[in-house]
Structure 1
Amino acid sequence: MAAGNTRFVARHSGFMTDDTKDAPAPDVRDAPEHHRFEIRVDDELAGFTEYLDRENQRIFFHTEIGEQFAGRGLASTLIRSALTETVGGGKRIVPICPFVARYLEKHDDFADDVDAVTPDAVEAVRHRQR
């Protein structure tokens, strides 16, 4: 569970909405001490995507967006920023997280930077979560 016992629920209905016309711009930052990228709105944690770095790969395995932030396109903003920083840092993307995998299916600009999910990658994540 996230800090402050906030419950996060990732929801994706198949389409994105844009309810951000008057909303503050979200801020995405790497939080390496927590092995995740976080997205904040007005300095409030809106969501995160967790990763595991292994050799030249960054394995994305879990993404959550707070219920109160759903429908704003924040998950896509978060994932796009996390993938851009990952590739910019010389790492390859391994999309175990279903949301990250769906994002990559729809956005081929990262196609040359993606490695297949392997049993070894899945086991590395399981080992980390123990």
Structure 2
Amino acid sequence: MATLVQDNAERSRFEITVDDELVGVADYRVDGDVVVLPHTEIAPRHRGEGLAAVLVAGTLDEIRRRGQTVVPACWYVAQYIDDNPEYKDLLAS
């Protein structure tokens, strides 16, 4: 199973694909160096496979790589950061 997380800047969202099938998205909007993440979604038939965590981790890793911070407006992203303290430094103040 080939899983890939990538930024679709045209649609302002990170996408996760499994074997070239789009299975989830993390919408965003950028305000300067701050990325607001208001919504994440995984296709119903792929829920429970851990793909939301893979999507959010990939999204946060890319935000870190770009030197940006994040506002986790989506409850899942906020919970993921709480559960994975290595990402707390990304929180916008």
Alignment of 1:1-130 (within 5 A): 24-115=1-92
> Higher strand proportion, which one?
2
Task: Report the aligned-residue RMSD.
Answer: 0.9
- Find the residue that maps to 2:49 and give its secondary structure: coil
- Find the residue that maps to 1:47 and give its secondary structure: strand
Could you tell me how far apart the structure 1 residues matched to 2:2 and 2:84 are?
22
What TM-score, normalized to structure 1?
Answer: 0.69
Could you tell me how far apart the structure 1 residues matched to 2:90 and 2:16 are?
23
Percent identical pairs in the alignment equals: 37
Structure 1 residue ranges (4+ consecutive) displaced by more than 2 angstroms after TM superposition: none
Q: Give, as a single letter, the amino acid of the residue that structure 1 aligns with 2:21.
A: E
Query: Structure 1: which 5+ runs fail to align?
Result: 1-23, 117-130
Q: Give, as a single letter, the amino acid of the residue that structure 2 aligns with 1:88.
A: R
Q: Give, as a single letter, the amino acid of the residue that structure 1 aligns with 2:82.
A: E
Whether contact under 8 Å (1:87, 1:93) holds in the other structure is: no
Shift in Å at residue 96 of structure 1?
Answer: 0.2
What TM-score, normalized to structure 2?
Answer: 0.96
Q: Give, as a single letter, the amino acid of the residue that structure 1 aligns with 2:79.
A: R
> Rg: which structure is higher?
1
Whether contact under 8 Å (1:79, 1:100) holds in the other structure is: yes
